[in-house]
Amino acid sequence: MRFYITDDDEVFRSMLSQIIEDEDLGEVVGEAEDGSFLDSYTLETNHIDILFIDLLMPIQDGIETIRRVAPSFKGKMVMISQVESKELIGEAYSLGIEYYITKPLNKIEVIAVVKKVMERIRLERSIRDIQKSLSNVFDWNTAIEPTLISDQKKITDWGQVLLSELGIAGENGSKDLLDIINYLYEYETEYGFEAGFPILKDIYTHISIKKLGKVKSQEDIERERKSSEQRVRRAIFQSLNHIASIGLTDFANPKFENYASKFFDFETVRQRMTELKQASITTSTHTRINAKKFIHNLYFESKLLMAER
């Protein structure tokens, strides 16, 4: 990945560059000490993937700079901020900022944010490649059956986008969750949900059979079903940590507002926020995970994204 840092603090730029290089996250190919020195041509010719930009700078602040370069910039922007103004941060989000890090610099936070942004970039590139491949297929063959295959593929693509948003695209249970929403899509297409949403045990059993093959014994299927359920619950718990962490940093964060109550029971999120604030980052025996709600909404949100595109 190629980075560009715009910040009026030379020491901060140096420290941020050092973290990126030491952790092999990519290459810092350019720096600017003020937004007025940054332009779209520089970003384009240097093929910048991730732009760090300070919110407060002496000549041209981050908001004005983002407003100027965002329309033509194809990479991701990370806001650097030492202020907690909800209005300024909200405006930054409305202009295209998806992530931010706070001052003073925290190495763990920088690494976590950069890895999430890199994951998002790779995911979007993968989706574009898939869509391009599917487009080529449609140019040669527009029969009904390939169209159905495309729909099934798309829902897992958008499911992957949501998992990335929820902070668990790289978790072991993410593959199980994608298998689940693919199964639910097939189930709804064939039977509908008039009789109700399939029970979780049946869902886990189905994806376990598909993974192992029908020749496997019932004992093997049951073992895989339990393992799949455990992976999914661990992934959901990690997502809860991710969302709760966002809420602790910025309660008005659009991602927190959108996902906290949609995918979790909000009381559970509040409880986890309290635990994280007390540095209890290990699994809590008191935290209740509502896997059915998470899976239900993951499926329908993936369908909604697919329909909108």
Domain regions of the chain by residue span: 2-118, 141-308
Coarse DSSP helix, strand, coil percentages of the chain, rounded to the nearest 5 percent:
65, 10, 25
The set of residues, in sequence order, having a beta carbon less than 8 Å from that of 242 and lying 6+ positions away, is 166, 167, 168
How far is the CA of 101 from the CAs of 16, 81, 110, 125, 250, in angstroms? 11, 6, 7, 24, 11
Instruction: State residue 309's pLDDT score.
Output: 62
Name, of 106-115, 146-155, 286-295, the range with top average pLDDT.
106-115
Instruction: State residue 286's pLDDT score.
Output: 59
Ranges 185-189, 196-200, 219-223, 281-285: which has the least confidence: 281-285
Instruction: State residue 143's pLDDT score.
Output: 47
Please indicate, yes or no, whether the overall pTM of this predicted structure exceeds 0.75.
Answer: no
Alpha carbons 261 and 184: distance in angstroms, whole number: 22
More confident residue, 282 or 242: 242
Give the confidence band of 132 by pLDDT, cuts at 50, 70, 90.
low
| Nearest C-alpha neighbor of 155 from the set 119, 127, 129, 117 | 127
Predicted confidence (pLDDT) at residue 287 exceeds the cutoff of 90: no
Strands (E) in 156-293, as ranges, are none
Strands (E) in the chain, as ranges, are 2-6, 27-32, 50-54, 76-81, 99-102
More confident residue, 80 or 279: 80
Give the confidence band of 213 by pLDDT, cuts at 50, 70, 90.
confident
Give the confidence band of 101 by pLDDT, cuts at 50, 70, 90.
confident
Alpha carbons 296 and 94: distance in angstroms, whole number: 29
At the topology level of CATH, where does 2-118 sit?
Rossmann fold (3.40.50)
Instruction: State residue 284's pLDDT score.
Output: 47
Ranges 145-154, 170-179, 227-236: which has the least confidence: 145-154
